[in-house]
Amino acid sequence: MPEKRNSSLVLVGHGSTLNPDSSAPTFQHADEISRRGIFAEVYCAFWKEEPSLREILRMVESDDIYVVPNFISEGYFTEIIIPRELELSGPVTHRSGKVIKYCEPVGNDPRMIDLLLHRAVEVAPGVAAEQTSLLIVGHGTHLNEKSAEAARSQATLIKERGRYAEVYAAYMEEPPNIADWRKITSQPNVVVVPFFISDGLHSYQDIPVLLGIESARTAAASQQEVFRRNPYYLDGRLLYYASAVGTEPLMAEVILDMIERFDRKYGFELAA
Amino acid sequence: MIRDDLARLIKSGYRAVGELEFEESSPGYRLYHWTDRNSLQGARRYHSIEAARELAKYDAGGKYRPLKGAPNLSSGWVIELETIDELRKALDYFYPGAIATWIAFQNGKTRPVPLRETVNRQSGMYRVTRKLGNEQARTLAKEACRSKDRCLRTILWGIEENQTPDFLPPSKSDPTFDQTGQNRAAIPFLCLEACNLLIARARSTLSRRSG
């Protein structure tokens, strides 16, 4: 990616008031991009942590600002919360001499499918894919149907590759519910990959309870000696639960891709 | 540049923000908890801004600190940094935007947002906070924002438009007052708008009452 020394990047994460690991991947990818010296400044801002979306633009000094949502899908946060809290008027906002460029969320990148497959293979090495059900688990929310759609389209694309015996999307907050994985899947091996940004509250603490691999919420991932003890033998089947897709180091490339895509779409690459 | 403003603030005598103190040292700057002022010799030494991020994340007992203004930073460490840029970034990990907001305030470029406006734009699970009554709001902020054991920010917003933050002692909204009570020349950690934690508390209060 060409240098953009007159621009700054603001990476927006959800963050959490309960789980210290929620913001970790956002900082991790911001650090990596910062090390490359492409932008004048790289910042993180959060919905539920500080710096908040309401204060971040005071901290950024460049007049040209790219905002990339480190979110897994279009939806409630990218369409309502982030634009509202940052007071954006559209993809390009001009305000007080500054230009704020609002990019698509990282989950829209076509490479997400490869990252999901990488996670699936990594968590269950040597396990026969033709005897494996792969579940892509998303949040799902009644507030916006696009949240579920993102996981569903990834599952469809992976299914088309024909590698796994079966591939489904399942959700925390809408059907098909991840708690019903025994009914949804039929194979002796079940690989579950969280289509989430971080190993935070939902993917590390809530979903394992819904799957039945933990009886109650455990401490956060960073407070544990062992990340996870795969596989889990449940009802005669072997279940493998992966780390969230958003913790992949390759996500830094995906973030830069979202910026290049934005520049192409809105004709900024000539001005760079 | 904010780093130049910070250099100017240091030159004019500012040495503190929140629970932190900082000073020029050779070479660069050092940053520590005010209680370690006289015992820096034995303190753990760090040399990166990432250390600031981690130190800001957990309290002395290793518990997660979701609120950066909470007066519960750990002590017993010193961060030594080479440049004013690094000092600025480290301070931003502890007290995000404190310097930028203080500069903006001094230049008349800040607008405190009344709590009413903040709750009225909430949606989804926080929409219920629009029902927050004025007395409920006052009680809530009084309990959740006090400097002694909750948050060291200096509050500039009131409940309704054109109201002052009268739910806590006048010193809580005085940018020249050191919220730790140490009476230092401290850069205030200004609060221009109720944070998500307060809105979440408002939501629990209202959900509890209606449920």
From the CA atom positions of chain B, what is the Rg in Å?
Answer: 18
Supply the DSSP symbol for A79. Answer: I
Residues spanned by the domain of B125: 115-210
CA distance A58 to chain B (A): 6
Low-confidence ranges of chain B (pLDDT < 50): 211
pLDDT given at position B211 = 47
Say if residue B7 is in the same domain as residue B64.
yes
Distance CA(A198)–CA(B75), nearest Å, equals: 29
* pLDDT at residue A73 greater than cutoff 80: yes
User: What pLDDT shows up at residue A106?
Assistant: 96
pLDDT of A271 higher than 60: no
Using DSSP's 3-state secondary structure scheme, residue B110 falls into coil
* Per-window interface: A 78-117 vs B, CB < 8 A: 80-81, 84
What digits encode the pLDDT tens for the residues A207-239?
999 999 998 888 888 888 778 899 999 999 999
Q: Final residue of a domain: which of B106, B129, B161?
A: B106
B99 and B8 in a common domain: yes
Task: Give me the mean pLDDT over the A130-139 stretch.
Answer: 96
Q: What is the pLDDT of residue A144?
A: 66
Residue A241 distance to chain B (closest CA, Å): 25
| Residues of A whose CB is below 8 A from B196 | 17, 47-48, 52
Name the fold adopted by A4-106+250-266.
Rossmann fold (3.40.50)
| pLDDT, position B70 | 98
pLDDT computed for residue B133 by the predictor: 96
Instruction: Tell me the pLDDT of chain A averaged across its residues.
Output: 93
Cα B110 to Cα A84: distance, rounded to the nearest angstrom? 18
Last residue of some domain: B87, B106, B125?
B106
Measure the CA–CA gap between B149 and A239, rounded to whole angstroms. Answer: 45
Which ranges constitute the DSSP H helices of A2-137? 24-35, 56-59, 76, 82-86, 112-123
pLDDT grade, residue A272 (50/70/90)?
Answer: very low
Using the Cα atoms of residue B112, residue A46, residue B148 and residue B178 in order, give the sign of their dihedral. Answer: negative
Cβ separation A47–B196 shorter than 8 A: yes
Q: What is the pTM of this model?
A: 0.93
| Fold of the domain spanning A112-246 | Rossmann fold (3.40.50)
More confident residue, A23 or B27: A23
Domains in chain A: boundaries: 4-106+250-266, 112-246
ipTM of the complex: 0.95
Instruction: State mean pLDDT over A145-168.
Output: 92
User: pLDDT value at position B210?
Assistant: 58
C-beta atoms of A17 and B101 within 8 A = no
Report the number of distinct structural domains present in chain B: 2
- Tens of pLDDT, residue by residue over A237-254, are 999 999 999 999 999 999
> Position B76: which residue type?
G
Nearest CB neighbour to B64, from listed A20, A55, A76: A20
Residue of B nearest to A143 (CA): B124
Q: Is the pLDDT of residue A141 over 80?
A: no
**What pLDDT was estimated at residue A143?**
64
Cα distances (Å, whole numbers) of residue B186 to B15, B21, B22, B145, B180: 6, 9, 10, 19, 9
Tell me what pLDDT residue B203 has: 96
**Most B CBs within 10 Å, among A27, A58, A144, to test the B interface:** A58
Distance from CA of B49 to the nearest CA of A (A): 11
Cβ atoms A8, A65 nearer than 8 A: yes
Residues above pLDDT 70, as percent of chain A: 97
B126 and B92 share one domain:
no
The mean per-residue pLDDT over the stretch A14-42 comes to: 95
Question: What are φ and ψ of residue B35, in 5° steps?
Answer: -70, -15
A5-36 in b/e form (b: 16+ CB < 10 A) is eebbbbbbbbbbbebbbbbbbbbbbbebbbee
Could you say which of B50, B100, B113 has the minimum Cβ distance to residue A59? B100
Token readout for A40 is 């004048």
